[in-house]
């Protein structure tokens, strides 16, 4: 099992003793998270606009950078870890992800169904041309 003393997000300080031992300050944690987020954002713009990467691999590279960006935000800014005191945060995050996935999947399903039902059959397209 993981020792809760070592399973902390950057900036989480539970006792005054940890603060006195030289744990990083909030400003340092947020600044390093910001710098990492900016680096990942700049890298994603570079990946999207470079010809050095194989064309079909660009969407995969952008997806990996997006997931890394989400991880940076969760750990450095929202302080979500797997510690025992963060169980509710992790469950709320999982529920939020589930809801977002359901909304996106439902929207795509509805749009695909509407597209299929709104497209006129080829016979109707050729009827007015035969007159």
Query: Are 96 and 36 contained in the same domain?
Result: no
Query: Are 8 and 29 contained in the same domain?
Result: yes
d(CA 21, CA 33): 22
Query: Are 78 and 88 contained in the same domain?
Result: no
Per-residue pLDDT at 86 = 76
Query: Are 29 and 55 contained in the same domain?
Result: yes
Which carries the bigger pLDDT value, residue 15 or residue 38? 38
Query: Are 25 and 50 contained in the same domain?
Result: yes
> Looking at the whole model, is its pTM more than 0.85?
no
d(CA 61, CA 59): 5
pLDDT digits (tens, 9 = 90+) for 81-118: 777 777 787 788 888 889 999 999 999 999 988 877 77
What's the chain's length in residues? Answer: 131
Per-residue pLDDT at 1 = 47
pLDDT digits (tens, 9 = 90+) for 28-78: 889 999 999 999 999 999 999 988 888 889 999 999 999 999 889 888 888
Per-residue pLDDT at 69 = 92
Inter-helix orientation angle 58-72/26-49, to 10°: 170
Using the predicted structure, report yes or no on whether residue 18 has a pLDDT greater than 80.
no
Using the predicted structure, report yes or no on whether residue 13 has a pLDDT greater than 60.
no
Over residues 7-34, the mean pLDDT reads: 68
Which carries the bigger pLDDT value, residue 4 or residue 44? 44
Domain span at residue 124 reads 83-131
Name the nearest CA neighbour of 5 among 62, 83, 61: 83
Structure-block tokens of residue 71: 């991880």
Query: Are 54 and 98 contained in the same domain?
Result: no
């Amino acid at each position: 099992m993981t020792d809760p003393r070592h399973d902390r997000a950057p900036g989480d300080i539970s006792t005054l003793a940890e603060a006195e031992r030289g744990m990083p300050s909030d400003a340092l944690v947020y600044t390093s998270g910001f710098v990492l987020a900016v680096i990942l954002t700049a890298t994603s713009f570079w990946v999207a606009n470079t010809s050095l990467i194989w064309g079909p691999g660009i969407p995969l590279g952008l997806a990996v950078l997006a997931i890394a960006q989400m991880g940076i935000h969760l750990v450095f800014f929202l302080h979500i870890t797997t510690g025992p005191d963060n169980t509710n945060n992790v469950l709320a995050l999982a529920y939020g992800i589930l809801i977002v996935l359901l909304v996106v999947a439902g929207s795509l399903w509805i749009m695909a169904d509407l597209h299929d039902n709104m497209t006129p059959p080829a016979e109707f397209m050729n009827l007015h041309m035969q007159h």
